Amino acid sequence: MGFCSACNTRHNAGFVSTRLMGTDGVSLEAGKWADVLKAQGFTSYYFAGELDRPADRSYLAPLAHFRHPEIKHVYDNVFDVRFRGRYITEAIHDLKNRLKGQLYDFLKTCNIDLLVLQNILAIPLNIPLGLAVTEILCETEIPAIAHHHDFFWERERFLVNAVSDCLQMAFPPHLPRMEHVVISSAACNQLGFRTGISAKVIPNVMDFENPPAAIKSDDYDADVRSALGILQDELLVLQPTRVVKRKGIEHAIELVSRLDMNARLVISHASGDEGYDYERRIREYSDLMGVKTVFVSEMISDKRGKTTDRRKIYTLGDIYPHADLVTYPSDFEGFGNAFLEAVYFKKPIVANTYSIYTVDIKPKGFSVIELDGYVTGRAVDETRRVIMDKELCRRMVDHNYEVASAHYSYSLLKQELGVLNRKVTGCPGSEK
């Protein structure tokens, strides 16, 4: 249990999100925040529509999930349209009130001292949940930290809508006893410009103080290559992302094709909440380019286990050590968790120069094979050289690990989160 030695008090933090499960960026970063908060005297409890956190500290609320039928019905009737029917307005408020009741119960049952709001006041996948949380913050004095991973104005699919009133009220709200955290300087600038809200930039982090070799405990991953269908003489090129349009996976396919090496492209995650048209496009393009591409989302989770047909389930941490190259050709990212993961596991990276990479990440001095929106002959030659020259590759990945350790480690998160906790809770032990 969390215990703060400075004020001799137990503190409880309540994480609230639509989903805290699996290997999406929000769930992963929430886990890292919980680790740091534990060291600062907090026990973390969790409220979401889908959960894989400790059962005795989890409050499952199906209405909080963006895929809940009633929530999805609202979503389908307020985006890509200009007006909403009165019955949708009534549905929004009914759902909001039901969620408020559950949230109040969560606060009371778990004795929550601090709310940690994970992206629910930034991306309007669940509008009633955002409104419910905002009203509770207005009705109570509970301190809150809103961790914003990406905003609605950054996604084309949210720009035409019939809920501008809701978006202005809750995505995000400007309230006392509430601190805002964003993961890039661009997001910070846009948030201030659009809303007048001042935010703290805390990028995504990895535990660079403890490298993978130091925490490896078994040989569970010894058969990863054969399990994924990688032949002995094939390169494993890992695309560690969901299959969505902004990930630019066609660039990875083109690169593998032009390498003219015996390689197989492994895509780790499923399509997610943005449909399956792009996945069909990627499958067709792989066939067209003659690239052996495998989709292995059913074999990768945040925890080891077995599939329904008794095959092993691996974590991404099991897969990364066996990759020869990581591709990250995204057109847009809120930050870039997969980039840091590749650095952490010391793998060479091919990355597109998306805006956050260019502004926040590249200036730190990373050594990366870059694509400027498309695959060039220079990028192909550089990739081939890095794969074939083991010493060049080693120097590159060691350098990247050193750079990331200085800028994206847990120590940074501990320092920044401690300052925020002191501001919202007043506890002097939060900064230790």
Output the DSSP codes for 244-304: -GGG-HHHHHHHHHHHTSSEEEEE-S--GGG-SHHHHHHHHHHHHHT-EEEE-GGGB-SS-
Residues 120 and 173 sit within 8 Å (Cβ to Cβ): no
Q: Do 212-407 and 11-205+409-431 fall under one CATH topology?
A: yes
- Per-residue pLDDT tens digits for 274-326: 668 999 999 999 999 999 999 999 899 888 999 888 899 999 999 999 999 99
Residues 65 and 18 sit within 8 Å (Cβ to Cβ): yes
pLDDT given at position 191? 97
Rounded CA separation 249/243 (Å): 8
Q: Mean pLDDT throughout 1-11? A: 60
Q: Which architecture, in CATH terms, is 11-205+409-431?
A: 3-Layer(aba) Sandwich (3.40)
Number of Cβ within 10 Å of residue 173's Cβ equals 21
Which has more pLDDT, 215 or 33?
A: 33
Number of Cβ within 10 Å of residue 423's Cβ equals 15
Q: Is 156 exposed, middle or buried (0-12, 13-18, 19+ CB in 10 A)?
A: exposed
Domain boundaries, the chain: 11-205+409-431, 212-407
Structure tokens at 138: 């207005």
Q: In what order do the strands lie in the sheet with 199-201?
A: 58-60, 42-48, 11-16, 114-118, 144-148, 178-182, 199-201
Cα angle for residues 424, 48, 59 (degrees, 5° grid)? 90
- Per-residue pLDDT tens digits for 225-236: 999 999 989 999
Q: Is 13 helix (H, G, I), strand (E, B) or coil?
A: strand
Q: Which fold has domain 212-407?
A: Rossmann fold (3.40.50)
pLDDT given at position 188? 96
Rounded CA separation 305/353 (Å): 36
- Per-residue pLDDT tens digits for 22-76: 878 899 999 999 999 998 889 999 999 999 999 999 999 999 999 999 999 999 9
Provide the H-helix boundaries in 275-427. Answer: 277-289, 316-319, 337-344, 355-356, 377-388, 390-407, 410-425
Q: What is the pTM of this model?
A: 0.87
pLDDT given at position 273? 60
